Amino acid sequence: MNRLAGVTSPYLLQHADNPVDWWPWTPEAFEEARRRNVPVLLSVGYSACHWCHVMAHESFEDQATADYLNEHFVSVKVDREERPDVDAVYMEAVQAATGQGGWPMTVFLTPDAEPFYFGTYFPPEPRHGMPSFRQVLEGVRQAWDGRRDEVGEVAGKIVRDLSQREISHQGDRPPGEPELAQALLGLTREYDPQRGGFGGAPKFPPSMVLEFLLRHHARTGAEGALQMARDTCERMARGGVYDQLGGGFARYSVDRDWTVPHFEKMLYDNALLCRVYAHLWRATGSELAQRVALETADFLVRELRTAEGGFASALDADSDDGSGRHVEGAYYVWTPAQLRDVLGDDAELAAQYFGVTEEGTFEHGRSVLQLPQSEGVFGAEKIASVRERLLAARGARPAPGRDDKVVAAWNGLAIAALAETGAYFGRPDLIEAALGAADLLVRVHLDEHARLARTSRDGRAGANAGVLEDYADVAEGLTALASVTGEGVWLDFAGLLLDHVLARFTDPETGALYDTASDAEQLIRRPQDPTDNATPSGWSAAAGALLSYAAHTGSEPHRTAAERALGVVTTLGPRVPRFIGWGLAVAEALLDGPREVAVVTPALDDEKAVALYRTALLGTAPGAVVAYGTPDGEEFPLLAGRPLVGGEPTAYVCRDFTCDAPTTDPERLRTALSG
């Protein structure tokens, strides 16, 4: 029986034709293991995961391995992007037991879903001190058949240890100036001044830390914070981690220099980085930041937008190299000979400009395109022509696969990025794309009780419930969209989602947040993690969305919940600032107010009003919210009781609904929002 045939996950569908008798994560799978008295193999991955593909080809497509699995195990396949709760719980166990984690994640469970043996990728033959996958299977089977009591004791101890792990935070005491200063100092110590970024290889784009640095500079004027953000952004944009032809960022760099990426492209990375570069331009006017923000936005719309208006999750790292083999990076890398084939006499210039050498910077003499030199040396017109021809030639290559499921949280991040980038640079098409994604989330993901589905595909909602990051990131995106469009209905939807955050994800006693709702499926542990990983943690994202909503509406419960949630940043910010960047960014907004800007106008298309509105959107005050409309407009609470001054469009800058003197002058408004 092919139990994966009807699922919405492209990752599970990739395994639907394996000879392994896969089950999705369901109660029936564990009932089957109990009936047969066999352990469960839990295999967790995602569609753009290179080593997941490798292990699938080596082991799960192998008939002999499949026969052994089918006889002695119940095999459960999970898409970590559809079930982040399952992934988080068992990844915590893997990391606690082995000191490391990753995907594919391989965990052996009792029929009660209790883990007792762990790993990640296992090769088909013993290699580099690792046992083969078949050896692991045989060892687990022997332990299950011959030492069942010992297996049960190990599983029970692991579950007890996990259940005792509690998040320590300072309740309703949010971080103040000392904690944020300590966090900045910690980042300075870990900063790589030669290459930008933090730490060594592999090096990940630190998008959430960059947001904190930009906000900290905006609030305090600290030049060191801006310098770290600006230099990191420039080095990433000039490196191979950025797609120099098509725009958009790869997941990470395998080296410290941003030269060779792991080539998968994720929606969440590009949404977060698009917003970072737009905010860097807003702070500095950098032409490079503007170009990268717009190219990344265009990449999102061109390559990840689905027919239904949402945004697909990822592009694979691997693609056909032209010989029928799937090879990592094949779509993106070049040799000098390939440049000559496409560019003729311009090939030498392109090789210099993009850093393509005979030796190569990647495997087999191939190079990842970089920008070691500035465009001015070669001439903008010539470089534009070279780029256009190379991009067209690359488009004829077999393209990487696309995971076209729509994840609610990541679409929330994309909505915020596209709405703001479109507003900053006069690109209404990007705002329209943000509106299309928001419409899809409301139509397809949101049920009649305002509960979110985690994913959809082809316009059909998946069966998995949204987790905290879904509610928080979608609320964040809709709040940003409301500010950019002046359409308060998006703020109303954000409020509905945040009501669920308060009612179903928040501990009423402590203000702590959980990643799953109180009425969600019960796992061996209720997942709870305030630290950022590839995306803002649901905890930090919820704090930010609650704070923005409170600034828009004056809601004391939402502000109090945000402040209590930020207590964890008081504890973790000075200790591990790299891993709680979004929490630090939200804390900057709290210390600044955040500022509430109301722009009232007699007519929405009034030129003076539009100038004030644009000035408000371009203000750098951390976390500022903007409302735009007529004085009697009921869509935004911020507009209530804000009269025109002399009949002219007027801006009010407020904190906690207490306002400075109103102004009709964009320059005065700019000054009020820049310090």
Report DSSP letters for 482-527, one per residue. Answer: HHHH--THHHHHHHHHHHHHHHHSB-TTT--B-SS-TTSPP-SS--
Strands 265-266 and 312-315: antiparallel
pLDDT of residue 98: 79
pLDDT of residue 269: 98
Q: Name the least confident of 50-64, 219-233, 238-252, 530-544.
A: 50-64
pLDDT of residue 674: 84
Element housing 233 (H / E): helix 223-238
pLDDT of residue 402: 95
Q: At what angle do helices 347-354 and 380-395 cross, to 10 degrees?
A: 90
Distance CA 317, CA 305 (A): 18
The two three-digit tokens of residue 644, written as one number: 């025109």
Residue that wins the pLDDT comparison between 75 and 129: 75
For the cut 60, the answer to whether the pLDDT of residue 294 exceeds it is yes
pLDDT digits (tens, 9 = 90+) for 457-503: 999 999 999 999 999 999 999 999 999 999 999 999 999 999 999 99
- Length, in residues, of the chain: 675
Q: Three-state SS for 256?
A: coil
With pLDDT > 90 as the criterion, what percentage of the chain qualifies? 84
Tell me the Ramachandran region of residue 530: left when phi exceeds 0, alpha when psi lies from -120 to 50, beta otherwise.
alpha
pLDDT of residue 99: 78
Question: What average pLDDT does this structure show over 261-276?
Answer: 97
* Inter-residue contact 664 to 651 (CB < 8 Å): yes
* Inter-residue contact 257 to 192 (CB < 8 Å): no
pLDDT of residue 100: 81
pLDDT of residue 488: 95
Query: Measuring CA to CA, how many Å separate 46 from each of 9, 56, 84, 297, 591?
Result: 9, 12, 11, 24, 38
Question: What average pLDDT does this structure show over 554-574?
Answer: 96
Query: Measuring CA to CA, how many Å separate 124 from each of 369, 380, 439?
Result: 34, 51, 46
pLDDT of residue 96: 81
For the cut 80, the answer to whether the pLDDT of residue 183 exceeds it is yes
pLDDT of residue 170: 55
pLDDT of residue 325: 85
Question: What average pLDDT does this structure show over 11-27?
Answer: 94
For the cut 70, the answer to whether the pLDDT of residue 172 exceeds it is no
Q: How many CA atoms lie within 13 A of 427 on its CB side?
A: 21
Question: What average pLDDT does this structure show over 612-624?
Answer: 97
Residue that wins the pLDDT comparison between 128 and 620: 620
For the cut 90, the answer to whether the pLDDT of residue 112 exceeds it is yes
Confidence tier at 1 by pLDDT (50, 70, 90): low
With pLDDT > 70 as the criterion, what percentage of the chain qualifies? 98
pLDDT of residue 102: 87
Return all residues near 483 (Cβ < 8 A) that are at least 6 apart: 419, 617, 625, 626, 627, 628
Task: Please state the pTM of the whole predicted model.
Answer: 0.95
